[in-house]
Amino acid sequence: MTLSSGAPSSGTPVSLRKVLITGASSGIGLAAARMFAERGYQVVGTCRHPSSAPAIPGVSLIAMDCSDPASVERGFLEALQSLGRVEILINNAGVGELGAVEDSTQEDARRLFEVNYFSAVQLIRLCLPGMRERGAGAILQLGSIVYSLQFPFKAQYCASKAALSAFSLSLHQEVYPYGIRVHLFEPGWVRSEFHRRMQPVLRDGSPYAPRLGPFLDFSRDTSSRIPDGEYVARILLGTLENPRAPVRIAVGREAKRFFLVSRFLSHHMLDRILRWKLSRKNGTGNKTPL
């Protein structure tokens, strides 16, 4: 299922082969870097510690800390030197959150927005002049279903992805006349280390502790029914190579199902369904109020 937002982006010429992918050391980014390289694209991937990241045949890894604007600019310039020009930007890097608003700090919230939103905007601003002058380019944004469906204990994460999604849809309207494609991908849950690595933020004696534990189980669901990084990478590649692909794309069964039912149900009903789903504690039937 795809979600159309405005007219389809203009086609990507065959000559667009130089790709910059952020967050390429694990999950979706790693799978996308490997898949694009196997397809013959020239790929530069970014991560915080290239020396300890998995080696990917045909992919150059460079250091970039997306929480540091100076590191983002240095990494971009290094990628530009390696590629010659950035024709395709895949903004994949992101950090998660698991904790109540009361238990988290303002500093944590700012860092999360720096990685999930501001670094992506910074890279886009650096790429746009060259893309516009050449009359061609593609920007692929990893958003999330949380743009439309908000979860508890992830308030800042939901807000950052909502900001990125709204920005991307507005950006599409600005740049499509210059031959620049923008695509927003909205996965539901993705099976990767992203959720398993997250440590919950919990104050001593927090009143939210009884509810956070079950949600942690839900967040770390590893069911084979949940799409993995390779599944999402195939969607990214297929979208890029389809000149008529829509701007907004739901990824995975859960996301497609949500966007379908959201056309017919009220916000009140969607809220009740979400609370019921979260109360199931990872499908075990152990009903813990959330």
Rounded to whole angstroms, the Cα distance separating 50 from 72 reads 14
**Amino acid identity of 271?**
D
Nearest to 178 by CA among 127, 230, 128, 123: 128
Per residue in 40-91, pLDDT tens?
999 999 999 999 999 999 999 999 999 999 999 999 999 999 999 999 999 9
pLDDT of residue 97: 85
Show Cβ contacts of residue 118 under 8 Å, excluding neighbours closer than 6 positions.
Answer: 69
The length of the chain is: 290
Helices (H) and strands (E) in the chain, counts: 10, 8
Categorize the per-residue pLDDT at 285 as very low, low, confident or very high, splitting at 50, 70 and 90.
Answer: very low
Catalytic-labelled residue, pool 147, 157, 178, 208: 157
Is 157 among the residues known to form the active site? yes
* pTM for this entry: 0.85
- Domains of the chain, with CATH numbers? 10-278 (3.40.50.720)
